[in-house]
Amino acid sequence: MIQLDGICKSFGENEVLSSLDLSAKKGKMFVLLGSSGCGKTTTLSVIAGLTKEDKGDIYLDGERINDTPPHKRGIGFVFQNYALFPHLNVYENVEFGLKAGNKRSTRGGNKTEVKRALELVGLDGFENRNPMKLSGGEQQRVALARALATEPECILMDEPLSNLDAVVRERLRHEIAQLQRDIGLTSIYVTHDLVEAMALGDRIAVMNNGRIEEAGTPEKIFYKPENEFVARFIGMKNIFEGKIAALDEDNGVLQVSTGNFDLTTVFVPSSVGTRVKACVRPEEIILAKSDQNTNVRSARNEIAGRIVSISQNGPLMRVLVDVGGDEMSVDITRLAARDLGLNRGDRVLLTFKATSVYMIL
Ligand SMILES: Nc1ncnc2c1ncn2[C@@H]1O[C@H](COP(=O)(O)OP(=O)(O)O)[C@@H](O)[C@H]1O
Ligand SMILES: [Mg+2]
């Protein structure tokens, strides 16, 4: 287990980590998710002992390691840019960590350890190759092997896939997940990519401005964020401030009024007048022209609006709809947009279920 308690780190005037707490369970994959510049690399660097914290404690399996030199911490590091030595071949690169005295146990000798590590990452037979002549994916495998060869207590990976193309990235992502589970290695994986975080993490911590906003399982973070920053980060586009206007426990619903419109959501015990933030995912809204039959009988929410804009949003189309002064984003497929013949200014009806409205209390 890796634990950080109240870690602070400033570079000059710039406070990069502000009393950061984090706890990564033994044998699990902990993902640190956050946008560029929020302090992810600095966090890993402090854990590895490459950057000295100003304040706070670092524990590895209960042992305080603040004063343990980096090579004695039993921590493997995989860098975003691979950081391989161009003048050494693959074998020598993997052996490097062992020679540098990073290894805790000594059984087997270097040759066995290097071979085992290269096998783990699917690179046996690559020993004599020049790393600079390998593909990006292969280079990152070498870097992974170099970290694994020392049989570390835990491994830190800093956006290891971000320089790879999409196909290789996905394949290597699966392999890293498999490998991590197979050897039950305590891991901290840093990324700015939500999809990667969701796919890999046993737990995800969303980081912002040098601290953790919220940590939880991928499902919790994605479907039930407790924090508005996290909600926005995971793509909860429509977030409306409102007040609870009515409670209807018998029917299992409650009413939130934003001032511009009312939303019906699933009942939770609360009281009328409580301030909440009601969120609706763009992909859970069904859009129809006002003069069409919607046929969505189970939908409790029906809001009329007018199209402000239509734009491409990844594989989907994002339709921005003015709803009585607020704006709601709706994602629909390209085909649906074409079939509906949508145009700016069209009057539309937005329908969605009570279960599609999520409240941050
Ligand atoms: N060695 C350093 N000296 C000065 N500023 C640094 C140093 N390392 C990082 N920073 C600053 O700390 C902030 C966080 O950086 P970093 O931890 O690399 O973020 P992330 O990995 O999340 O993108 C940035 O503003 C960066 O410029
Ligand atoms: Mg970084």
- The residue assigned the tokens 């629909």 is 332
Do 96 and 126 lie in one domain? The reply is: yes
Helix (H) or strand (E) holding 56: strand 55-60
Statement to judge: residues 172 and 50 lie in one domain = yes
Closest CA to 143 of 166, 160, 164: 160
Q: Using the atom order of ligand 1, give the atom closest to the CA of residue 158.
A: 21
- The domain spanning residue 214 has which CATH number? 3.40.50.300
Residues 248 and 305 in one domain: yes
Q: How many other C-beta atoms lie within 10 A of the C-beta of residue 161? A: 25
C-beta of residue 48 within 8 angstroms of C-beta of residue 77: yes
CA distance 219 to 336: 28
**182 and 271 part of one domain:** no
Residue 290: per-residue pLDDT: 85
In angstroms and rounded to an integer, the radius of gyration of the C-alpha atoms of the chain is: 25
- Paired with 305 in beta bridges are 348
Predicted pLDDT of residue 296: 58
247 and 334 assigned to the same domain: yes
Q: Which of 209, 251, 303, 228 is nearest to 20 (CA)?
A: 209
Looking at residue 103, its pLDDT comes to 57
Q: Is residue 271 within 6 Å of ligand 1 at its C-beta?
A: no
Q: Of 232, 264, 299, which marks where a domain is finished?
A: 232
Cα-to-centroid distance, 37 and ligand 1 (Å): 6
Give me the domain span that covers residue 142: 2-232
Cα-to-centroid distance, 16 and ligand 1 (Å): 7
Statement to judge: residues 93 and 110 lie in one domain: yes
Same domain, residue pair 80 and 8: yes
286 with 225, same domain: the answer is: no
Q: Is 331 left (phi over 0), alpha (psi -120 to 50) or beta?
A: beta
Residue 208, SS3 per DSSP: strand
Q: What CATH number does the domain containing 259 carry?
A: 2.40.50.100
Q: Are residues 283 and 140 in the same domain?
A: no
Give me the pLDDT at residue 106, please. Answer: 52
Say if residue 216 is in the same domain as residue 288.
Answer: no
Q: Is the CB of 186 inside a 6 Å radius of any atom of ligand 1?
A: no
User: Is the same domain home to 201 and 261?
Assistant: no
Residues 33 and 137 in one domain: yes
**Distance of alpha carbon 211 from its chain centroid, rounded?**
15
Number of domains composing the chain: 2
Ligand 1 atom 25, closest CA: 37
Ligand 1 pocket check for 90: Cβ under 6 Å: no
Taking the C-alpha atoms of residue 255 and residue 243, their distance in angstroms, rounded to an integer, is 8
d(CA 102, CA 119): 20
Q: What is the mean pLDDT of each run of 10 residues along the chain (361 residues)?
A: 97 97 96 97 97 97 95 92 93 87 58 91 94 94 93 94 91 93 94 95 97 96 93 92 95 93 93 95 92 68 96 93 94 92 95 93 86
Rounded distance, CA 326 to CA 267, Å? 24
